Homo-oligomer: A and B are copies of this chain.
Amino acid sequence: MSNLDQIAKLAGFSKATVSRVLNQSPHVSHETRTKILKIMQEMDYVPNRNAISLSKGQTLQIGIITSTINEIVLAFLDSFVEIAGQYSFQTIIYTSGEDKKKELQAFEDLKRKRIDALVIISCVNDTDLLSTYCKYGPIVSWQRMEHTAIRSVAMDQYEGYMLALQHLIQKGYTRIANAFGRPSSINTQSRQRAYEHIMSEHNLPILQHWNHSSIYNIRDGEQVVRDLLQRRDEFPEAILCANDYVAVGILCEARRQSLSVPEDLAIIGFDNTELAHTMGITTVQNPIMGQAQNAFFMLSPQLIGRQMELHSLEYSLIERTTT
């Protein structure tokens, strides 16, 4: 009788349920999980992942490829390193600086079995080229991918942005500006669609100089406020931000310019970072940790021989003091 069978028998649950607990599936009740974990602890049960890996010739290293390391990718990186570590895998982060050749190094390392799997945070090479590497090991992406060979854990930001827009409109704001990120990204395009849909649905005005693009960080956010103040008679009532850092920059600069928030300008961030929490910024909770865990779970059949249930993820609006 295997250890798993014994645990199932002692706990009075099926082997599938025990397996679900091991795989951290959300579809197990808290009580069941606690009971099974207690029995595992009593039995001193440790899933012998190293043994599995050695027999498969694995390196126990997973690569992540990213063009840069910044605050935005930090939450994903951190969560992925954590979940991979729980399964005895080390995460190695390749930086490319958007250099195609450096980016390919990570894919070549997958080919040469220097790493067991690869996670894409951002890439600049042609997706058709990158997908030819799928035969060497599992690849998943946080970036939205156009190629079906590489699965993505990305969520459609249309939904998240729509939550923020609906919140503003319910509160009676009608003059709504945007601080968008990279214009070419699928995420930005989804946000733009949500904005255009809702504004036209409610017959609300869209002024061209309310739409800012390539806004990424605190300094960019500060500049947006100064730019908007150039046309004081056409000043918006609210602004949606590419991320919480941009929202922090806008909030601090607005206060320096003697604007009251939310009376003169309402602000909504994106991601729900610790900064949005401490500064009381209304934001969209982006389940980045869940996406990072899903990335590992998608790799798991090939890494640890187990199919793992993906988290079902949703955005939610966190209302604070800036709206």
Which residues of A are at the interface with B, using a C-beta cutoff of 8 A? 61, 68-71, 74, 77-78, 81-82, 85, 90-97, 99, 102, 105, 114, 217-219, 222, 248-249, 252-253, 274-275, 277-280
Extra contacts besides A68-B81, A90-B95, A90-B105 (20): CB < 8 Å: A69-B93, A70-B78, A74-B74, A81-B95, A85-B95, A85-B97, A85-B99, A85-B102, A91-B95, A92-B92, A92-B93, A92-B95, A93-B93, A218-B274, A248-B275, A249-B278, A252-B278, A252-B279, A252-B280, A275-B275
Closest B residue to A280 by CB, please name it: B252
Given contact pairs A81-B97, A252-B278, A71 touches B69 in the complex (Cβ within 8 A)? no
Mostly helix, strand, loop or mixed at chain A's interface?
helix
Q: Which residues of B contact A82 (CB under 8 A)?
A: 97
Complex Cα spacing A61 to B222, Å: 37
**Is the beta-carbon distance between B68 and A78 smaller than 8 angstroms?**
yes
**Is the beta-carbon distance between B69 and A77 smaller than 8 angstroms?**
yes
- Measured CB to CB, the closest approach of chain B to A278, in angstroms, equals 4
Q: Which residues of B contact A278 (CB under 8 A)?
A: 218-219, 222, 248-249, 252-253
Q: Which residues of B contact A68 (CB under 8 A)?
A: 78, 81
For A74, give its contact among B69, B90, B99, B114 (CB under 8 Å): B69
Complex Cα spacing A252 to B279, Å: 6
Q: Which residues of B contact A219 (CB under 8 A)?
A: 274, 278
For A217, give its contact among B74, B77, B274 (CB under 8 Å): B274
- Which 3 A-B residue pairs are closest in the complex by CB-CB distance? A93-B93, A252-B278, A218-B274
Q: Which residues of B contact A99 (CB under 8 A)?
A: 85
Q: Which residues of B contact A218 (CB under 8 A)?
A: 274-275, 277-278
**Is the beta-carbon distance between B94 and A81 smaller than 8 angstroms?**
no
Complex Cα spacing A291 to B97, Å: 20
Q: Which residues of B contact A96 (CB under 8 A)?
A: 90
A-B contact pairs, 28 of them (CB 8 A): A69-B69, A69-B77, A69-B81, A69-B93, A70-B74, A70-B78, A74-B74, A81-B95, A81-B97, A82-B97, A85-B97, A90-B95, A90-B102, A91-B95, A92-B92, A92-B93, A92-B94, A93-B93, A93-B95, A218-B275, A218-B278, A219-B274, A219-B278, A249-B278, A252-B278, A252-B280, A253-B278, A275-B275
Q: Which of A61, A81, A96 has most chain B Cβ within 10 Å?
A: A81
Q: Which residues of B contact A70 (CB under 8 A)?
A: 74, 78
